[in-house]
Amino acid sequence: MKIRNGSDGMSELDQVVGQLKSGCPDRSAKIRLDLEQGDAHLRHVFGCDLVRTNEARAEAAVLDLVRTRHDATRRADRVIRFDTAFNVKFRLDNPAGLIWTIGTGFDGASCTRAGDGKFHRDELALVTPRGPNHESPARWTEIEASWIAAVCPDRLPIFFSSLARAGQPAAANTVRAELERLGVGS
């Protein structure tokens, strides 16, 4: 079964399992996963008995296909460690999703645009005004730096330089110092 990716080019782990489940005609059949996502091309045959009767085990079996790619499990553990230290909660409830994202080669805009000052100015302009989504520049920097430190730590120096050039040297210096206290150098 060729898996259809989401509009952003990515299928979440539960979406993949759901598509496999809906493609299984009965419990005795087999279904072939064929998914191109990020830099991964996953091909694997699953028994429909597993896919249709035990979603948790099916999700674990699909996740096993990418768990070791790009050191995904260790890097996801680091995201959780830094998110916990910075009190970033929105990624903590889905460790399997972190492994899936990293293991399929999606580093995200935080990594790919780490040196993009215009992107940083635009993002900060969205979140720093008072309102329901308000974040201070330092808070926004903590959230971004947490991901970068865990997933693409070699991009931290360019991230902090870009952020300083984007008009936020204090936020860059504050978060750099916080990461150094956590044992991460930039």
The reported pLDDT for the residue numbered 38 is: 77
The reported pLDDT for the residue numbered 41 is: 85
- The pTM for the full model equals 0.84
The reported pLDDT for the residue numbered 93 is: 87
The reported pLDDT for the residue numbered 128 is: 84
The reported pLDDT for the residue numbered 10 is: 62
Domain positions in the chain are 13-65, 71-181
How does pLDDT run along the chain (186 residues), one tens digit per residue?
Answer: 666 555 555 678 888 999 899 999 999 999 999 888 878 888 999 999 999 999 999 999 999 999 999 999 999 999 999 999 999 998 888 899 999 989 988 777 789 899 999 999 999 998 888 887 788 999 999 999 999 999 999 999 999 999 999 999 999 999 999 999 999 975
d(CA 93, CA 68): 21
The reported pLDDT for the residue numbered 144 is: 94
The reported pLDDT for the residue numbered 9 is: 55
